[in-house]
Structure 1
């Protein structure tokens, strides 16, 4: 029987990383509190599918090829950082406009951030994770250091399935917990601040990633 210690180690590290606040965490918090459970769950599924694709690309070596080509990786950083900046600046702009007006802050008020369907919510979740170059580097490091060269395909498949399952479980739990009726009532008055904080997270991470990409393009 194949030793499953690497699989358990990978799963443990991944789950700890999932609980660390980042763009994916902020996206669930922002939209589950604003739009409710169905949207939160759709975003959770999109985020998990992004992680699934990162896992597949890393364990097959595709992500390593991208990372080993500085200009290609810098281009991905530019696209991913730009997308996070779009989300962050859009959220901050909506918060600023609503804070300056007397109108109540509601989901429909933030028109540039409005998620009109579950498909759009899924797409936003998927794009947020798959375009995040930090996720690409994380999975490359995880897979290259902990996946033995002789690991059977069946065990690799099991590893990918576990990573996807843990991601879906965590993000779905987060979306469900934030959209319970009792918590929704308490969070309703804090929606403006939640959106502002999430906007700052997206913008901060986006600026950092774009700056790293610019440095890569301009370095000799």
Structure 2
């Protein structure tokens, strides 16, 4: 297995664990309607991750093969974006903003699934993240087995992380616990994003 694919999966996992619209989508359903509704949302998020990983490997990868200079430019842009996300996390820590998750009532399995899918495929943060990851894997997906491995692996990572969040937030009293440690999580993931961004920029120079 390519080390670049592993690196992309690590970056995906860090992004999935960190606070953002995807986390809010699954956590709000868990708080409002329990574990099953949250898992339906998580399945939608995982399906979105499958789609984004496929487009990353096939569409953006082919584009970078045709225009190699775009790979370098995207690496610089993507690294700067990840670094900005890190700074945004630290700003939330210093200002005390963010971390507010309101309960949301589930709308049924199909609607909850579509809600998760729609959130992740229309989220600019997710789109730019996958564009950044394409700089790792764009030239590494050379055949269908590698493509299947990358896309299925990405979907499994997303479902595992968001499903765990769904289970976690469905437990009574977790909302208060999350609010208590939100600042610490923002600081940790802000630091990780800053580090990933600097690595990506360095590789692209």
TM over 0.5: yes
Confirm or deny: 8 A CA contact 1:58 1:64 kept in the other structure: no
Equivalent residue for 2:58? 60
Show CA shifts across 1:67-99 (max 9, x none).
x9xxxxxxxxxxxxxxxxxxxxxxx9xx8xxxx
Equivalent residue for 1:161? 152
Equivalent residue for 2:19? 21
- Aligned-residue Cα RMSD (Å) equals 2.9
TM normalised by structure 2 equals 0.61
Query: Given the alignment, which residue of 99, 105, 119 partners 2:110?
Result: 119
Equivalent residue for 2:201? none
Query: What is the rounded CA distance, in whole Å, between the counterparts of 2:61 and 2:32 in structure 1?
Result: 34
Equivalent residue for 1:171? 162
Equivalent residue for 1:131? 122
Instruction: Name structure 2 gaps, 5 residues minimum.
Output: 64-69, 71-99, 180-205
Show CA shifts across 1:196-219 (max 9, x none).
xxxxxxxxxxxxxxxxxxxxxxxx
Q: 1:150 to 1:167 in 2, by over 3 A?
A: closer
Equivalent residue for 2:89? none
C-alpha displacement at 1:150, in angstroms? 6.3
TM normalised by structure 1 equals 0.57
Query: What is the rounded CA distance, in whole Å, between the counterparts of 2:137 and 2:129 in structure 1?
Result: 12
C-alpha displacement at 1:114, in angstroms? 4.0
Confirm or deny: 8 A CA contact 2:57 2:137 kept in the other structure: no
Query: Given the alignment, which residue of 124, 133, 154 partners 1:142?
Result: 133
Q: 1:57 to 1:35 in 2, by over 3 A?
A: same
Query: What is the rounded CA distance, in whole Å, between the counterparts of 2:14 and 2:109 in structure 1?
Result: 28
C-alpha displacement at 1:50, in angstroms? 1.1
Confirm or deny: 8 A CA contact 2:46 2:158 kept in the other structure: yes
